[in-house]
């Protein structure tokens, strides 16, 4: 392992950045794919000029400054300029609606906002007493009105001297979460820096590493592990100018040859179900062989080699977090010898609570608690060992901004955070997540039913893209979104012929799905009805379905 002096010194962003600067100033820091990177020295100059610019526009220590932008080098630079001067960053998810953006700006009383030009429409007509300064993030130009507005000068330096403490607030992250109202999670410099440093213990990185960023920087997972962590190691992060569709991603990976990627399950699930599995099901002989474990392993290993090459051939850490990974897909990744690693965490814990290096991945587990963090399963069920996961450590948030009652519901007086997730720990302390406490359905005889577990069975069925299991009138109902293109391809000869026949085939498929699921789950998790969900489900930033909209 490299020299471990990352663990020295104060746990604040400016202190860590200064260490990186002295070691890796000339190294590349941030770039768009296919464009010239900025070095850490150049980034340092830009941060100083931005602090000066914020000062001139009336931003002082403790003020809230929002960032509403797609990922780009300037996102991180804006974030550092805000937090280095002791102000508080308020990252907003690019897919927040106009109403959600307004709520966040109002609730946080943000005085300034960095915004990318395609998202300007989210604040059109927005009026507030606090928001005075609107900065276009692409070139730091000022938008709008005001008398004391001073333009950005790349050569200026801050007038003030700033010292940031570990317990100072670094950011307030509003979780759209999967429940209604957004909550502002208050994270300190220490919460986030400690978490990134512990990420370094799981996977050492240095100036030779290259990150390819595909998740929004305004989400705590990408923010801590995709921005602060690479900064600690002096690594370079590459961003995409377009959304990460396969057509954009594949050439980008070929060019960058990333060593590190952070993703959510949906990305790999799509690759497996849309590309890898169909290749094994085209020919009858392959389809039959793929059902036999011995041959399946050989086929998966061969597919894994190809997949690894598609990812640029240098990947050493492919992190998956944010939601539960489909077990068939995980089995494929193991047999394909793909360097995947699963992590578990929440916005409230900055985010990482558990995780392991790809060499230590345990099937269906998120790995053990990370160093210096305690995880317990509270009041475990005598039979199953399941209970709510509680966490304690230097990464646990200060609380929810302006919401002491909500904070008291999840933080105990002695510092335990109630995650709201149900899980078990094995004898090696590996954590296994069962599902969200509030999603859990209590069956007719008091059994605990986890919709997530039934959904992972449904999602293995052909033509299913995604699903949601809900309780209606005491019965379990599966809402299923199908891949209509695939279905139409298979039955296209019928479509013109007679649409009734086509509908009949679809009904047959849903009936077959119901039988398939019920033969794969325990008796109290049986579904009584399958309904087709015509549109894709609405999702959060980590592509989890917003359940509250459907239950």
pLDDT, tens only, 63-116: 999 999 999 999 999 999 999 999 999 999 998 888 889 989 999 999 999 999
What is the average per-residue pLDDT within 148-168? 92
What pLDDT is stored for residue 181 in this prediction? 61
Q: Residue range 50-66: average pLDDT?
A: 96
The pLDDT, as a whole number, for residue 548 is: 83
Of 180, 207, 234, the position where a domain reaches its end is 207
pLDDT at residue 462 above 70? yes
* Structure tokens, 413: 């007086």
Q: How far apart are CA 227 and CA 229, in angstroms?
A: 6
| Residue bearing tokens 């296209």 | 492
Is residue 156 domain-resident? yes
Taking only the tens place, the pLDDT of each residue in 333-363 is 999 999 999 999 999 999 999 999 999 999 9
In a domain, 425, yes or no: no
Number of domains in the chain: 2
Please report the sign of the dihedral spanned by the C-alpha atoms of residue 151, residue 155, residue 161, residue 165: positive
Supply the pLDDT for residue 5: 45
Strands of the sheet with 317-320, listed across from one edge: 38-39, 28-32, 236-239, 210-212, 260-263, 317-320, 340-345, 352-355
For the cut 60, the answer to whether the pLDDT of residue 146 exceeds it is: no
pLDDT of 494 > 90? The answer is: no
Is the predicted pLDDT of residue 166 greater than 60, yes or no?
yes
pLDDT of 323 higher than 50: yes
Q: What rounded mean pLDDT belongs to the chain?
A: 91
pLDDT of residue 496: 59
**Spatial distance between the Cα atoms of 344 and 260, rounded to a whole number of angstroms:** 17
- With the CA atoms of 21, 27, 29 and 32 taken in that order, what torsion angle do they form, in degrees rounded to the nearest 10? 160
Residue 109 lies in a domain: yes
What is the CB-side half-sphere exposure of residue 304 using CA atoms within 13 A? 19
Task: Give the DSSP letter of residue 95.
Answer: T
- Is 339 within a domain? no
Give the residue, 10 or 486, on which the prediction is more confident. Answer: 10
pLDDT at 540 over 50: yes
CATH number, domain containing residue 16:
3.40.50.12780
Q: In this structure, are residues 72 and 239 in contact, taking their beta carbons and an 8 Å threshold? A: yes
Indicate the pairing of strand 464-472 with strand 475-482. Answer: antiparallel
pLDDT category at 148 given cuts 50, 70, 90 is low
pLDDT at 318 over 60: yes
Q: What are phi and psi of 118, to 5 degrees?
A: -65, -15
Secondary structure string (H, E, C) spanning 508-543: HHHHHHHHHHHCCCCHHHCCCEEEECCCCCCECCCC
Residue 441 has pLDDT above 90, yes or no: no
- Which of 187, 207, 227 is a domain's end point? 207
- Long-range pairs of 448-451 with CB within 8 A, sequence gap ≥ 24: 448/381, 448/384, 448/386, 448/422, 449/476, 449/524, 449/525, 450/422
Does the structure show a pLDDT above 70 at 252? yes
Whether residue 89 lies inside any domain: the answer is: yes
Q: Please determine, for residue 300, whether its predicted confidence score (pLDDT) is greater than 90.
A: yes
Q: Could you tell me the pTM of the whole model?
A: 0.88
- 124 occurs within a structural domain: yes
What is the pLDDT at residue 8? 57
Beta bridge partners of 424: 432
Q: Nearest CA to 156 among 143, 170, 171, 140?
A: 140
Q: What is the pLDDT of residues 187-230, one digit of tens each?
A: 999 999 999 999 999 999 999 999 999 999 999 999 999 999 99
Tell me what pLDDT residue 144 has: 74
CATH number of the CATH domain containing 465: 3.30.300.30
Residue among 331, 327, 264, 324 at smallest CA distance from 299: 331
Q: Which residues contact 179 (CB under 8 A, 6 or more apart)?
A: 438, 548
For residues 292-301, give the mean pLDDT. 96
Residue 521 within a domain: yes
Q: Cα torsion at 92, 58, 45, 74 (round to 10°)? A: 20
Q: Is the pLDDT of residue 182 over 60?
A: yes
Question: Binning pLDDT at 50, 70 and 90, where does residue 4 land?
Answer: very low
C-alpha span between 83 and 73 (Å, rounded): 16
Question: The tokens of 91 are what?
Answer: 């990252």
DSSP, res 402:
T
Judged against a pLDDT cut of 80, whether residue 316 lies above it is answered with yes
pLDDT at 438: 85
Band of residue 175 on the pLDDT scale cut at 50, 70, 90? confident
| CA dihedral (346, 352, 353, 358) positive or negative | positive
For residue 81, is it within any domain?
yes
Q: Band the pLDDT of 473: cuts 50, 70, 90.
A: confident
Total Cβ atoms within 10 A of residue 158: 19
Among 192, 207, 222, where does a domain finish? 207
- Domain containing 520 equals 440-549
pLDDT cut 90: percent of the chain above it: 73
């Amino acid at each position: 392992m490299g020299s471990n002096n990352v663990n020295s010194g104060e746990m604040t962003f400016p202190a860590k950045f200064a260490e990186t600067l002295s070691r890796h100033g000339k190294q590349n820091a941030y770039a768009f794919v296919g464009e010239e990177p900025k070095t850490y020295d150049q980034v340092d100059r830009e941060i100083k000029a931005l602090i000066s610019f914020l000062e001139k526009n009336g931003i002082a220590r403790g003020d809230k400054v929002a960032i509403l932008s797609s990922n780009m080098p300037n996102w991180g630079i804006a974030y550092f300029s805000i937090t280095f001067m002791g102000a508080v960053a308020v990252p907003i998810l690019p897919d927040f609606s106009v109403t959600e953006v307004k709520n966040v700006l109002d609730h946080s009383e943000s005085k300034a906002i960095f915004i990318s030009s395609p998202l300007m429409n989210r604040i059109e007509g927005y009026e507030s007493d606090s928001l005075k300064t609107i900065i276009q993030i692409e070139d730091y130009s000022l938008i709008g009105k005001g008398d004391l507005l001073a333009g950005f000068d790349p050569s200026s330096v801050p007038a003030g001297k700033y010292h940031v403490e570990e317990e100072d607030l670094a950011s307030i992250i509003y979780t759209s979460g999967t429940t209604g109202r957004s909550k502002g999670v208050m994270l300190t410099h220490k919460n986030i820096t400690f978490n990134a440093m512990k990420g370094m213990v799981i996977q050492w990185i240095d100036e030779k590493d290259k990150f390819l960023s595909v998740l929004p920087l305004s989400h705590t997972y990408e923010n801590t592990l995709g921005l602060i962590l690479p900064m600690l190691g002096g690594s370079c992060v590459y961003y995409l100018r377009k959304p990460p569709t396969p057509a954009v991603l594949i050439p980008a990976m070929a060019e960058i040859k990333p060593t590190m990627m952070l993703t959510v399950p949906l990305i790999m699930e799509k690759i497996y179900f849309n590309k890898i599995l169909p290749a094994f099901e085209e020919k009858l002989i392959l389809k039959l062989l793929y059902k036999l474990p011995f041959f399946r392993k050989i086929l998966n290993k061969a597919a894994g080699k190809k997949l690894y090459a598609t990812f640029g051939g240098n990947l050493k850490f492919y992190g998956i977090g944010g939601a539960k990974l489909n077990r068939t897909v995980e089995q494929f990744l193991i047999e394909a010898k793909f360097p995947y690693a699963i992590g578990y965490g929440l916005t409230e814990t900055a985010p990482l609570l558990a995780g392991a290096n790809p060499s230590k991945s345990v099937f269906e587990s998120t790995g053990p608690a990370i160093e210096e963090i305690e995880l317990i399963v509270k009041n475990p069920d005598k039979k199953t060992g399941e209970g709510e996961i509680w966490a304690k450590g230097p990464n646990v948030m200060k609380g929810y901004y302006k919401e002491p009652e909500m904070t008291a519901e999840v933080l105990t007086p002695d510092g335990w955070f109630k995650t709201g997730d149900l899980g078990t720990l094995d004898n090696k302390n590996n954590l296994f997540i069962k599902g969200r406490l509030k999603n859990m359905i209590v069956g007719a005889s008091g059994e605990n039913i986890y919709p997530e577990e039934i959904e992972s069975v449904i999602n293995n069925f052909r033509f299913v893209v995604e699903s949601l299991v809900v309780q209606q009138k005491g019965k379990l109902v599966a809402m299923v979104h199908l891949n209509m293109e695939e279905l139409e391809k298979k039955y296209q000869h019928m479509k013109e012929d007679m649409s009734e026949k086509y509908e009949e085939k679809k009904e047959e498929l849903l009936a077959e799905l119901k039988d398939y699921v019920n033969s794969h789950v325990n008796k109290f998790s049986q579904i009584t009805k399958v309904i087709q969900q015509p549109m894709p489900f609405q999702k959060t930033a980590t592509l989890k379905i917003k359940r509250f909209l459907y239950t």
